[in-house]
Amino acid sequence: MKITGIQTVVVNALYRNWIFVKVLTDQPGLYGWGEATLEWKTRAVVSTVEDLAPIVVGQDPMRIEHVMARMNRMSFWPLGIIGMTAASGIEQALWDIKGKALGVPVWELLGGQVRDKVRVYTHLKRGAGGPASTDDIGAFCDAAQETVEMGYDAIKLGFVPYTGYDAPLQSVLHVEKLAEAVRERLGWTVEIMTDFHGRPQSIDAAKAYIDAIAPIKPLFVEEPIPPGDVRAMADLARRVQVPLATGERLLTPREYADLAESRAVTYIQPDLAHCGGFSGGRRIAAIAEAANMGVAPHNPMGPVAGAVALQFDAATPNFVIQEEIVGVVPWFEEVCSLYPLQLTDGSWQIPRHPGLGIEIDEAVAEKHPFEQEIILSLHATLADGTVANW
């Protein structure tokens, strides 16, 4: 069997263009889907898929590790976030092809099912309302309650404002009041996570906000400081009483090995659209398991990325919980004629169709062509005009 071509299908959704990658083979009707969505870098990723095609076309799609080695090593330059995202989308599509060719779900190829369902969490109103203001505590709590009533028992919220090297007292007190109000509204049967987005620029600023949130006992605080400084993250972890998580902006097993060696976080959050697909994700999960760290994969993207995450989670022993935003646009499920992401009691069910268990309806996709996304980070400034981390 040979790969004969690679195509991309770009679908404009809320705040993102989903980038679906379609790998074609010389076997009639046999092809695979992957997703290479990267916020605000759509044109670059699509062009990089085209750049990688000459390295991939003509290869056997069943030799997934071999094809990944070609994309990484024959590119000479480190792929970086844009290159790794393009390669991840291609890699996922190869697993879809292999599962279809062998007549089994991808999770069967990853070692088999290790759980009966996959617990998930979502964002405020599944992200469909855009970034929520924390100024109106009552309205924020209403939105959180509405989200839980959609069928979730876990939710991730953004409590922390744009922040620099200090944490202004009034801001800290407001975050404390907001967190307490949300916990009181949702009760103790709902897991709450909070994403700092790496906004605090110092350990002390991050600690001030974490200490304010600690009484509501979040499952984890995500990216409390910008990613990349493992020593600082490990130092922070030892100074607070809340589990920390990071990983959405990390790409390689080496980066995760540094986290594991220092026990810097409780949970790692690889995104299979950026870290090398299933191949990279499996290596990263194994590194985390050796360090007694759980895996809570990142995924605020489209239906193919969701299907990929579900297959991975079904077969990963140290999986904990999966991020998702199914329904972020009203036609989310229409773009798929097969759709495995069914929510029951706060969890996804294990899929049984071969491959990823998904099929893209390209006619529906064509109704939502590429558009320039709204770049939310353009608003990330402090009161004095300093550019902040989004």
Contact residues for 116 (Cβ-Cβ < 8 A; gap 6+):
350
Residues 147, 190 share a domain: yes
Which tokens in the block code for residue 364?
A: 């529906």
- Give the CATH number of the domain where residue 203 resides: 3.20.20.120
Which tokens in the block code for residue 230?
A: 């493992």
* 7-31: average pLDDT: 96
Domain boundary residue, one of 77, 105, 133 = 105
Residues 254, 133 share a domain: yes
Task: Tell me how far apart the alpha carbons of residues 57 and 52 are, in angstroms, rounded to a whole number.
Answer: 9
Domain boundary residue, one of 47, 71, 105 = 105
Q: Which is more confident, 341 or 172?
A: 172
Q: Which is more confident, 121 or 340?
A: 121
Read out DSSP for 174-206? Answer: HHHHHHHHHHHHH-SSSEEEEE-TT--SSHHHH
Residue 29: Cβ-neighbour burial (10 angstroms; 0-12, 13-18, 19+): exposed
Query: Which tens digit of pLDDT belongs to each residue from 139-185?
Result: 999 999 999 999 999 999 999 999 999 999 999 999 999 999 999 99
Domain that holds residue 37: 3-105
pTM over 0.85: yes
Domain boundary residue, one of 105, 138, 167 = 105
Q: List active site positions.
A: 197, 298
Residue 309 placed within a domain = yes
Q: What value, to the nearest 5°, has the Cα angle with vertex 195 and ends 194 and 199?
A: 135
Residues 329, 299 share a domain: yes
Residue 389 placed within a domain = no
299 touches 273 (CB < 8 A): yes
Residues 137, 12 share a domain: no
Number of independent structural domains in the chain: 2
Q: Would you say the C-alpha torsion 272, 273, 274, 278 has a positive or negative sign?
A: positive
Q: Which residue has the tokens 């077969």?
A: 315
Beta bridge partners of 268: 246, 295
Query: Which tens digit of pLDDT belongs to each residue from 108-118?
Result: 999 999 999 99
Query: Which tens digit of pLDDT belongs to each residue from 247-304?
Result: 999 999 999 999 999 999 999 999 999 999 999 999 999 999 999 999 999 999 999 9
Residues 132, 97 share a domain: no
Residue 308 placed within a domain = yes
Given a cut of 90, whether residue 357 has pLDDT beyond it is: yes
Residues 66, 143 share a domain: no
- Give the CATH number of the domain where residue 55 resides: 3.30.390.10
76 touches 112 (CB < 8 A): no
Residue 360 placed within a domain = no
Task: Tell me how far apart the alpha carbons of residues 92 and 185 are, in angstroms, rounded to a whole number.
Answer: 40
Instruction: Give the pLDDT score at 128.
Output: 80
Residues 15, 101 share a domain: yes
Residue 377 placed within a domain = no
User: 3-state class of 370 per DSSP?
Assistant: coil
Residues 274, 243 share a domain: yes
Backbone angles phi, psi at 159, to 5 degrees: -100, -30
Residues 171, 312 share a domain: yes
What are the Cα distances from residue 134, in Å, to 51, 191, 250, 256?
A: 43, 19, 28, 32
Give the closest residue to 134 by CA, choosing from 218, 195, 81.
195
The pLDDT mean for the chain works out to 96
Per-residue pLDDT band at 127 (split at 50, 70, 90): confident
Residues 117, 62 share a domain: no
Residues 41, 139 share a domain: no
Residues 246, 161 share a domain: yes
Residue 365 placed within a domain = no
Residue 381 placed within a domain = no
Residue 366 placed within a domain = no
Read out DSSP for 79-140? Answer: -HHHHHHHHHHHHHHHHHHHHHHHTSBHHHHTT----SEEEEEEEGGGGTT-SPPSS-HHHH
Given a cut of 70, whether residue 130 has pLDDT beyond it is: no
Total residue count of the chain as it appears in this document? 390
